[in-house]
Every structure is written in structure tokens, then in C-alpha cells.
Amino acid sequence: MRPFVFAAGTAVVTGAASGIGEALAHGLARRGSHLVLLDRDTDRLAAVAAAVRTAYPDRQVHTHVVDLADPAATDRVAEAIRAAHPRVRLLVNNAGVALGGRFDEVTLDEFDWVLDINLRAVVRLTHALLPALKAEPGAHLVNVSSIFGMIAPAGQAAYAASKFAVRGFTEALRHELVDDGIGVTSVHPGGIATAIARNARVGSGVVREEYERSLRQFEKLLSIAPATAAEVILRAVARRRGRVLIGWSARLPDLLARVLPVGYGRVLALAARPAHRPVRVASRPAGPPPLPTREQA
């Protein structure tokens, strides 16, 4: 497959109002792409679009405010994009949300909210825009999963379920679309310094004080700048790479899961304990708070 060409193509990016999505918008514009940006945050999305237009006045920048948790709204936006842009060269399904708490501490409605945004919106947008990708020679699809699409720590049942599913969905599409000349990349970020953990929902049954303590400890691991992550993703698109792990905080857990496919959970639990606490094997860890990845939808 030939290298991807950014210049003069239309790129659709979800979760574009902050974090990796915002950085992707600037990186794509710098490479010559026209943009269609989606997010639920009206003000921040407008600010990102204005900044891109100011920096790159020759680029076309269109925005759509949408809550990807709403299937009907997602379908309407997808149809509007397809009508306005019958050819799409790049689709980046980047939006995502987090939910803190073990499975028995969250409601099914909270669980479904994560699946609606992290998985079902990815499926709906991809299905609706696939004809536009097929109409554009040399098109490419990027789905942002997570390192929690490789490992599934305690406290992340909803998020891991969604991101493992995104990984499987993306890998199947990679095999299906190769004959159409469409490249497909699955992205697995590690500790990216975005607001997703801080902005995560907290399960209805979670003790807030304990969650906040874990969150403060966990946020220390979020050290990779969103702009760095965006550049890694865009270089991978240019080279048509099928899978990308961003940072050692993604590569090391991936390696751990390969070496200890069943037993890695105990290692993660020990690593998550505060240093001043004694290690008691019989006790159950609270699990890490929400993820080291991505954006708000």
C-alpha cells in the first residue's frame, strides 16, 4: 500500500475539542488536510477551529457539535458529513470517555454510556462514512483504542470492554478493507496527559474519597503530551502502520500481557499500591482509576 497523502484530503476527527483530538487537528492542518471536527463541547470546539483557521487560513474547517452517546444524533451528523463530503480521505475515531469503579460499583446505564461513546459511535460513524472512504483513493481509517484494549485492570470493566471491542473491530476491518486500498490503524495510547481521567464519571457505588486518592496517584503517570501522541499517530498513518502503541506506559503493559496473559493482574495490583502501604496478598486492591488515554466525546 502506498504512503498516505495528507495534502488536499478531507480528514474527519472526533473528540477534537481537546487533548489528542485537538493536537490531531493542528497536525493534520499543518500537513495540508481539510478538517471536519466533531465534539460535544461547543465552546472548546469553536476555539480549536478558530485557532486552526488562524494558523492555516487556506484550510477548510467544518465543525459539528454532537453527543456521541446519542445514536440518533450520531447518525444525523454522519449523514450530514457524507452529504457535504462524499469523499473522505481520513477518519479518526478518537473520542472516548472513562468510568471509574468496579463492575459491582457501576450501574448498567453507566456501563452502557461508555459503550455508546467508545464503541457504538465508532461503529456507527465508520459504517456511515465507509462509502466516502471507499470513494477516495488511498483513504485511511484510525480507531483509537487504549492500552486497556490490551490489558484489563481491576476497576476498568466498562472501559476495557469498550476498548478491547474497538481493537477487535479495527483488526477485522484491516483485513476486510485491504483489497479496497484502505489502510486501517489501531492506536493504543499509554499515559497521555489529557483530562479524561479527571473528567471521568465515577460509578454510583464508588467511595469518592478513595477514588480521589487513587486518581491523584494515577495522574502522575500521565506524562506524554497530546501533541507528541498526535505526531506518533500521524506518522503511523503516513506509513500505513496497522497498530501503534504510544509510550513505554503502553509497551510495557503490552509486553507484560504477552508474558503473563493470565497473571498480569497481580503485577498491576502490586504496582498500583501506594509505597507506604504494606503489601497484603489477601486484600483486594481498589484498582487504578480511569485510564491514561484520550478525549471527551
Instruction: Please identify every residue annotated as catalytic.
Output: 159
Q: How far is residue 225's CA from residue 68's CA, in Å, rounded to a whole number?
A: 25
Nearest to 155 by CA among 66, 63, 288: 288
Buried b (16+ CB within 10 A) or exposed e, 238-259: eebbebbbbbebbeebbebbee
- Residue 76: burial class (beta carbons within 10 Å; 0-12, 13-18, 19+): middle
Cell for 173?
476491518
Strand ordering across the sheet containing 61-65? 61-65, 34-39, 10-14, 90-93, 140-144, 183-189, 243-246
Report the phi/psi class of residue 296: left, alpha or beta, with left for phi > 0 and alpha for psi in -120 to 50: beta
Nearest to 109 by CA among 213, 20, 205: 205
Q: What is the CA radius of gyration of the chain?
A: 19
Show the beta-strand stretches assigned E in the chain.
Answer: 10-14, 34-39, 61-65, 90-93, 99-100, 140-144, 183-189, 201-202, 243-246
Q: How far is residue 218's CA from residue 188's CA, in Å, rounded to a whole number?
A: 18
